[in-house]
Structure formats: structure tokens, C-alpha cells
Chain A
């Protein structure tokens, strides 16, 4: 008997590695039961689970994907087109010098029944800039000199200096209005003012929201909504096919798009996030501090092919660090066309006729790992031998982002209008430019929208001219929903899924 037993264990282990292959056959054969859909409930699946539910306590996009416009509201909000619209503030006005803002509150109540007053707004904004605040976007509140509450429904904010993007900041999830009475449990049992109230959160799995009938807006169609968190891209596809999810807000498995499109029960929408995916280059380090080296790299990397191979062609190629969703966008993708001969010549001129060896440190997301393999192969064509080093998020944040211990990395910057990172001192890719700093200052002080846009365009031209990084593509937003569900945002000007806009038809 002994020989058989000896053989059996490794053979079974080998079968284990074959399991994905067998699963493929199973997947292809299994039928999909069509579940009868109650018309006023919804199971909405998303990739990441929020670490907490307080949008003023962390930068994670997953917090906003659940809470923005659902549990919590601010004075104003972004709509699906990225336009600022009224929320808790019915209307607002500014003084001629742009320093005094008056917000008139609409009659609204928190989920615990208490009314929303000017004092709640004052409390929330003052808390956001407090030294112990964990707010991820303190810049929104920093221009504020003082907040007055002349009437229970009137908030008067005075600014230290003119700030062009003040209202845009207030529309972000970080400028949520809380009540002082319930702020203590905002992270785990939030009490907000939105159309849906928090019911239950099963960590690691799902979160249940129910319609808040005391909401100020028109009555939403859906009575209760479950958010489910499924991080594995294949499991996301299976859950959609099995009917466990009515919709997925941003599918990770872009390679499954064709398969899902072919399913008559599902509707697939390809939109855009605000995620500029870039090959970030350590500009402070030799040989990357030489502009010719960075230009040569840009001429070797064909962003259209990277977009095809990394995200199945669903992203939007970009030529600078700026979103095509924004009116100030300039198309700079033709600025430095692929030209291997010229790239080699530039490298030679910079003193590297035979190229050089370098490392490419990649964070875990599939878009980064896949782009990395392609970019490394493309750089190899001009003699730049990039060794790929995969890192987990904590290591990436520590080594690459904080300690700037890297040559190249690939990451998507997902905040809206985050071109300001090129004006920062001491940011991880080590770029310094007085021109960009000056132009960025202009975007803050510009009195007209035209002037502000011109400043943004100047920044785009400057960072593309300096080829700070290699600009690849905007991360796509892949929305998959059962047919009949309407109202999901096709694009993400901010990561959000306002449930009040959804209904079954």
C-alpha cells in the first residue's frame, strides 16, 4: 500500500492547482437561476468595504461610496455631472469681494428626529479643522476665518482670503454636516440627514440601509438597500450572474465585460472615475532627474496599448495629470508620440547608450500589476531593464509613498482635481516647479472661471512638458446592473452612489 499513499498526496496537490481549470468548466456549464426581484429593495455590490462610516474621519473612497448623499449630506453636493447643487442649503450668496458666504438652510432633520440647524453646521466645520481632526481634506476649511449663525436656518461663513474652489470643497463628503449629539458613533452607527438611515452593518459582508421618511427631498423609490462587499473580481462576476447582486458599482473584472454584455439580463455601462493612472517617476533620483531620460521613457511607452492590455481598453488615455471630465482638460496625448529610435538617441545623449537597470515597485491592484508588466516590456525595448517588485499596500505606502524609496511605481490618483500634488513640496515623486506652484496659486485666486481654467491648462502643459511622470489612462468605472434598474451614476466625479436616484422599472 505504501507506494500508493506516497503518490496520492502530491497528486492531489497537483489536482488542487488544476482546480481553477475545472472551475472554468463548471462556470461554463452552470445555469443562472433568475430570481424574482422585489421592486423596492436592492442589493448593491461594491469592491471595497469602508473601514469606518464617518466621511470626516478617513480618506477611503469606500466610505463615500456608501454614505455620500445616502446617510450623510453637506450644505451642497456634486451631482452626477460634477456640478455643485443644493443639498442642506436651499440657496446661497456671496459678497462682492467673495469673502462672505451666506447659506440658507432648508427645513431638514437628522435620522434621530432632531432638526438641522446652523449650529450643527458651525459645529461640524469647526470640528473638521480642529488640531485633532482626522479629516482628509482640511484644505476645504482652512480658508475659513469665522462662522456666524445669525438665525437657526442661516449660516454665514467669512473667509480669510478669496478662495475660488471653496464651494467645490464644501460639496465633498469631507464637509458633511453632523449633529453634536450623535457624532460619537458616526464611525460605526452613523446618524445623518440623508434619504437613507443606517440599520445594520455585518462587518466583512454587508450593510443595510432603510429609507428615511423624514427626508426633505422627494420620496425615494427604494425602501431598503443592502450594500455587499466583494473584493475578488471573479466573485463579483459570479455574484452578478447568480443574481446575488442587483448591481455592481465598479466591477474589478474588466476582462469579463464582454461576457456580462452578452447576458440579456444585465446592462453594462463603461464610465470614468477621477483616477489618473500614472507611472510615477522619482524625479529627485539619478538617472530620472534628467529630463531627457524621462522623455525617452515617455517615447517608449505606448499608453494606448497599456490601456488595452491592463484594463481591456476601457480606460481613457491621458497625456497629462488631468481628468477629461473637467472643463479645463487639454488633450495632450499626442504631445510625445511613441518613437523608439528617438528615445534611444535621447537616452544616449543623457549618457545611457546601453540603457540602465532599474526597479518598478507595484502596489496590489490588478491595473497596477498588469500595467507594470507591459510598461517594463516597453521600456526594455530601449534598454531600460526594469525589475518588477510587487508590494502590499502597507509596504507601498511606507516605502514608496512616505520614504520615497523607489525608482518607478504605478498608481491611480483618484481624488478629483488632484493636480495640486504637482505643486506640493516633498511629494513622493520629488517634482519641484515654481511655474506649477504659481499657476496653482492662480487657480485658487482666479476671479473668473475662464481665468481659473487657463491656470489649470498652464499646469497641464507644464507637467507634460517636464514629463514629470508617464501619464497612462483614466481608470474606467464599470457599472453592471440588472436590466430595469435605472439611475446609477455612469461616471464618478466623486465616488458616490446616491440611492435616492435609483428605481426599478
Chain B
């Protein structure tokens, strides 16, 4: 057995994540019912053979909504982390290569400025300004991922740049961009992946929070956060409406956090030596 699977965090995280990704992929080809189909006269039904987790306030099938919601959550995480990763790593490496010079200061101070604001609060501000919706929500969350990745990338790059082989590469006539792409990037990838999985969990949670507040994903697109919001009014009469999406969010966030923890240990060279 591959030793990676024996790492408890990584193993558990991977299994949970496979579950979430599986649900999202499944929803592309099959859901028990049309997640948008309303059967108003069959609303708020408890779990049954036809609707395994019951129906919501408009008579929509909750299983189908949760499955499509998984796709939605993963998409949000992927795009938001992608934005942070691409811009963050580029800016972080740029700052590191011009360490101590004006570009470094300008980039890092600007990112500090973004970092100083509470992410979800500012996302609310951005969404109020530009209008609610999934696309704006993802961009807002993505923007707040940029400084996180940039700081990590800068610190990691500085470590790598100090290595002798980088100097050798420069002396051999390789340009700065070439060094960056060929030698530095591969060396900081592991760290970025670890950071990425933690930020993934944050992004999913942030989207759920924004949708819960009614400014994230808009109906009829199913979102776990909005399902929670809708469920709030039916807590006393139909608690399963809140429990199902709540568990889905908790499992997904847990999966990515465990995975991140496991990866960090596994990718740490000192751990490998042991």
C-alpha cells in the first residue's frame, strides 16, 4: 500500500473528497429528479422512496439539489482558488525576484491592503456594489485569495532563489523569466497545492455564507448556502431541510482541510526522510 494512504488525514480527506467529487460528477449525467422541477402540492415532504431526502418548500427533490449543489460548490472553489493561485503566485514570484526594490514594495503593500479587510465582509460590499450573483461572488472570493498565495509564493521563492543551482542557471545565461518558470515554479508547487486545498475549503464556505445571506448563487441554481437560508424558516417543521445542506458543507470543508493537512505532511521533505 502506498504510504500516502496510510497518512490518516490524507486518507480520510481523500475519501471524503472523492465522495463530493463523485456527487458533482454524477449530477452531470444523472439526478433522481430535475432539481429545478417544482411540485408545489408535494412540498415539505419527509424522506420517502420517491424522494430519498424529502422535498423542499417548493416540492423540489432535495437529493437532486444537493448533488447539483456539490457541482456548484466545487466550481466555486476551483475558480476562486484558480484566480488566487494564478495572480497570487505570479505577483509573489515577481516580488521575490525584485526583492527590496520598488516593485516588491508596491506589490506587497498593495496586497497587504487587500489582506487587511475581513474577506467575507468585503465580499458583501463588492456584491452590494456590483449586484448579487455567483460570478461576482466567485470573483470577490478569488480576489481575497490573491494575497494569501502571493505571500506564500514570495517567501518560498526567496528560499529557492538563494540556492546555488539558481545562481548556476543565471550564470549559464538563462533569463529571469526562464529561471522562474523552469526552476523556481516546480520547486514551490507543492507548497501552493497545500495552500490551495485550505483555500478551497475557505472559498466553499465563503460562497455558502454569501448565498446564505442571499447575495451569492441566485435561484434557480441550487446552492448549499441558499438551501440553508431557505430551510431556516422551516426549522421547526422540516429540520431535514437544514441538516442535509449543512452536512454537505461540513463534509466538503472537512475533506479539503484534512487533505491539505495530509499533503503538507507528505510533501514536507523532512517527513520523507523519516
Which residues of A come within 8 Å of B, CB atoms? Answer: 3, 6-7, 10-11, 13-15, 17-18, 20-21, 23-25, 27-28, 233-234, 237, 253, 255-256, 258-259, 305, 308-309, 366, 370, 372-374, 376-377, 380, 387-390
CA distance A331 to B73 in the complex (A): 47
* B58 and A11 form a contact (CB under 8 A): no
B175 CB–A CB distance under 8 Å: no
State how many angstroms separate the Cβ of A177 from the closest Cβ of chain B. Answer: 42
* B58 and A373 form a contact (CB under 8 A): yes
User: Which residues from 193 to 235 on chain B have a C-beta closer than 8 Å to any C-beta of chain A?
Assistant: 198, 201-202, 205, 208-209, 212, 214-215, 218-220, 225, 228, 231-235
CA distance A7 to B10 in the complex (A): 13
Interface size on B, residues (CB 8 A): 48
B67 CB–A CB distance under 8 Å: no
B121 CB–A CB distance under 8 Å: no
* A305 and B242 form a contact (CB under 8 A): no
CA distance A255 to B43 in the complex (A): 11
Q: Given contacts A7-B257, A21-B243, is CB(A377)–CB(B36) below 8 Å?
A: yes
Q: Given contacts A20-B231, A255-B233, is CB(A7)–CB(B239) below 8 Å?
A: no
Residue in B closest to A260 when the chains form the complex, CB atoms: B236
State how many angstroms separate the Cβ of A45 from the closest Cβ of chain B. Answer: 17
Top 9 closest pairs, chain A to chain B, by CB: A24-B239, A24-B235, A21-B242, A309-B40, A18-B246, A14-B250, A14-B253, A21-B246, A21-B243
Q: Given contacts A17-B228, A20-B246, is CB(A387)–CB(B218) below 8 Å?
A: yes
CA distance A3 to B7 in the complex (A): 13
B249 CB–A CB distance under 8 Å: yes
CA distance A180 to B170 in the complex (A): 90
CA distance A388 to B253 in the complex (A): 28
6 contacting pairs across A/B (C-beta < 8 A)? A14-B253, A18-B247, A18-B250, A20-B235, A21-B231, A374-B40
* A388 and B218 form a contact (CB under 8 A): yes
State how many angstroms separate the Cβ of B209 from the closest Cβ of chain A. Answer: 7
Name the one of A13, A17, A256, A380 contacting B246, with C-beta atoms under 8 angstroms. Answer: A17
Residue in A closest to B59 when the chains form the complex, CB atoms: A309
Sample of 20 further A-B pairs with CB below 8 A, known A234-B235, A309-B38, A390-B214: A10-B202, A10-B205, A13-B253, A14-B254, A17-B209, A17-B249, A17-B250, A18-B246, A20-B235, A24-B235, A24-B242, A24-B243, A255-B44, A308-B40, A308-B41, A309-B40, A309-B57, A387-B218, A388-B218, A389-B131
CA distance A6 to B198 in the complex (A): 9
Contacts of A377 in B (CB 8 A): 36, 38, 58, 220
B132 CB–A CB distance under 8 Å: yes
Q: Given contacts A3-B261, A24-B235, A389-B131, is CB(A17)–CB(B218) below 8 Å?
A: no
* B253 and A255 form a contact (CB under 8 A): no
Name the one of A14, A18, A28, A309 contacting B236, with C-beta atoms under 8 angstroms. Answer: A28
Q: Is the interface of A mostly helix, strand, loop or mixed?
A: helix
Contacts of B41 in A (CB 8 A): 305, 308
Name the one of A237, A308, A376 contacting B219, with C-beta atoms under 8 angstroms. Answer: A376
Residue in A closest to B212 when the chains form the complex, CB atoms: A17
Q: Given contacts A309-B38, A309-B40, is CB(A373)–CB(B220) below 8 Å?
A: yes
Name the one of A14, A255, A309, A374 contacting B234, with C-beta atoms under 8 angstroms. Answer: A255
Contacts of B225 in A (CB 8 A): 17
Q: Which of A15, A27, A258, A390 has the most CB of B within 10 A?
A: A390
Contacts of A305 in B (CB 8 A): 38, 40-41
Contacts of A387 in B (CB 8 A): 218
* A237 and B132 form a contact (CB under 8 A): no
* A370 and B237 form a contact (CB under 8 A): no
CA distance A472 to B243 in the complex (A): 32
Contacts of A11 in B (CB 8 A): 253-254, 257
Q: Is the interface of B mostly helix, strand, loop or mixed?
A: helix
CA distance A188 to B208 in the complex (A): 42
Residue in A closest to B260 when the chains form the complex, CB atoms: A6
Contacts of B9 in A (CB 8 A): 3
B71 CB–A CB distance under 8 Å: no
Q: Given contacts A3-B9, A6-B261, A308-B41, is CB(A390)–CB(B239) below 8 Å?
A: no
Contacts of B201 in A (CB 8 A): 10
CA distance A380 to B234 in the complex (A): 27
CA distance A387 to B134 in the complex (A): 12
B80 CB–A CB distance under 8 Å: no
* A366 and B40 form a contact (CB under 8 A): no
CA distance A28 to B231 in the complex (A): 15
State how many angstroms separate the Cβ of A379 from the closest Cβ of chain B. Answer: 11
Name the one of B36, B132, B233, B264 contacting A366, with C-beta atoms under 8 angstroms. Answer: B233
Q: Which of A17, A237, A390 has the most CB of B within 10 A?
A: A17
Q: Which of B41, B219, B250 has the most CB of A within 10 A?
A: B219
User: Which residues from 41 to 71 on chain B have a C-beta closer than 8 Å to any C-beta of chain A?
Assistant: 41, 43-44, 57-59
Residue in A closest to B120 when the chains form the complex, CB atoms: A13
Contacts of A21 in B (CB 8 A): 231, 235, 239, 242-243, 246
* B232 and A234 form a contact (CB under 8 A): yes
* B236 and A27 form a contact (CB under 8 A): yes
* B261 and A7 form a contact (CB under 8 A): yes
Contacts of A3 in B (CB 8 A): 9, 261, 264-265
State how many angstroms separate the Cβ of B60 from the closest Cβ of chain A. Answer: 9
Contacts of B265 in A (CB 8 A): 3
* A25 and B239 form a contact (CB under 8 A): yes
State how many angstroms separate the Cβ of B100 from the closest Cβ of chain A. Answer: 29
CA distance A387 to B219 in the complex (A): 8
CA distance A258 to B201 in the complex (A): 39
* A259 and B236 form a contact (CB under 8 A): yes
State how many angstroms separate the Cβ of B148 from the closest Cβ of chain A. Answer: 13
State how many angstroms separate the Cβ of A419 from the closest Cβ of chain B. Answer: 29
Residue in A closest to B234 when the chains form the complex, CB atoms: A255
CA distance A366 to B9 in the complex (A): 43
Q: Given contacts A17-B205, A376-B220, is CB(A390)–CB(B132) below 8 Å?
A: yes
Contacts of B93 in A (CB 8 A): none
Query: CB-defined interface of B18-50 with A at 8 Å, one 1/0 digit per residue?
Result: 000000000000000000101011011000000
CA distance A370 to B201 in the complex (A): 30
State how many angstroms separate the Cβ of B214 from the closest Cβ of chain A. Answer: 6
CA distance A309 to B225 in the complex (A): 20
* B250 and A23 form a contact (CB under 8 A): no
Q: Which of A15, A20, A255, A380 has the most CB of B within 10 A?
A: A20
B258 CB–A CB distance under 8 Å: yes
